[in-house]
Amino acid sequence: MNLASGVGGKMEKSEVISAVDKYEKYHVHYGGKEEERKANYSDMVNKYYDLSTSFYEFGWGESFHFAARWKGESLRESIKRHEHFLALQLGLKQEDKVLDVGCGIGGPLREIARFSKASVIGLNNNEYQLTRGKELNRIAGVDKTCSFVKADFMKMPFPDSSFDAVYAIEATCHAPDAYGCYKEIFRVLKPGQHFAAYEWCMTDAYDPNNKEHQKLKAEIEIGNGLPDVRSTTKCLEALKEAGFEVIWDKDLALDSPLPWYLPLDTSHFSLSSFRLTTAGRFVTRNLVKALEFVKLAPEGSLRVQDFLEKAADGLTVAGKKEIFTPMFFFLAKKPGGGSGGYHSD
C-alpha cells in the first residue's frame, strides 16, 4: 500500500487540509456536538475514511478490525479466526447470498467468501474504499462471486427479503441511529435467517458522569469517525425494537486470553505488528512528515496521523479500564421461515 498516494482517498491533494478541518470540527475536542455528528454522519464518515483508509491499510492490512487472540497466535491469524467464527455462527454455505454491511475495502468479505464459498455483497458509502476493494477482489480472484454496492446502510437499495444472511464487523457503530440501521437490515434479510455483528460499545463499567471516561469516549469518537458510542444495552434494545429475536450475545473481549488492544499498546513490542508499536508509530510519523514536506503527501496528512494516534491511546486506556469493547457479539434471527445458522448458548 502506497501511503503517500492513498491519503485523502478520491480527494484532490489541495482538498485534504480543508477536509481535516471540517472533520475535526464535528468532534467534542473541537467544540462539536453529538447532534451535529448524527445529522451529518454520512459526510463525517466519508471524510474520515477518505483521510484514514491508507493509514489503516498501511498499519493493519485489509481487515480493519480487532479480534480475540490466543497465546502464540499472530494478529493476522486472530483476525482470520474472528471472521471464520462469524461465518460459522451464521452457518454460511455455498449458494448463500450474504450482505456485508459497511465492508471497508473488503478484507473480511474476501476471507468469509473463501472460507464458506458463499457469495458476498459488500455495502459501503465510500467511493475510495470501493475502488480499492474491487481491485483487491480482482487480485484475490473472488470478483466473480463477490461484489460491492455504493449506498448508505440507513437506506439500502435492495428489495425486502433479499439475503440469506447479513453481518457487520465494527461498522454499524457509524450509524446515527442503531434502530434505523437494524430495521433496514431486518427488512433486507429473509425470514428465518440470521444477522450477526461485532459492535463497538461502551460497557456497563462506563460512567457517563466520569470526566476521564467522557474524555476517552470522545477520543474514540474522533479517531474512528463515530457520531456516538452506544452501550451494549442500547444495541440489544434497538435489535429487539427492529423486530429481531436475539439468539445470544456476549462481549467476546472478556474471554480473550490476550487483550484485544494489545496491537495498540505502546508498552508492548511486536515484530508482527511493528507499525502499530511506539517505534512503528515514530517511523510512520516521520515518514508522513517527510512526505508532506516534499509534497508527495497532501498537507494535513500529519494531522490525520495525530487523531489516529489519539484514538489508539484512547482505545488502549478504555480497554484496560474495561469501559469499552470493540467486539460485543450478537447473533439475531428474523422470525418466520426456516431455521438455519449455527448458534451456541
Tell me the one-letter amino acid at 116: S
Q: Residue with C-alpha cell 459497511?
A: 102
CA distances from 35 to 126, 224, 237 (A): 22, 17, 21
How many Å from the N-terminal Cα to the C-terminal Cα in the chain? Answer: 41
Measuring CA to CA, which residue among 133, 126, 128 is closest to residue 111?
A: 133
Tell me how crowded residue 224 is: count the other CB atoms within 10 A of its CB. Answer: 23
Q: What angle do CA 114, 118, 123 make, to 5 degrees?
A: 95
Cα gap 273→285, rounded to integer Å: 16
Angle subtended by helix axes 301-320 and 278-293, to nearest 10: 160
Q: Which residues are catalytic?
A: 170
Residue 189, helix vs strand vs coil: strand
* CB of 261 closer than 8 Å to CB of 272: no
Pairing state between β 324-333 and 189-202: antiparallel
Question: 17-21 — which CB contacts under 8 Å span 24+ positions?
Answer: 17/298, 17/299, 17/300, 19/47, 19/50, 19/51, 19/300, 20/51, 20/300, 20/303, 20/304, 21/300
Measuring CA to CA, which residue among 207, 319, 217 is closest to residue 261?
A: 319
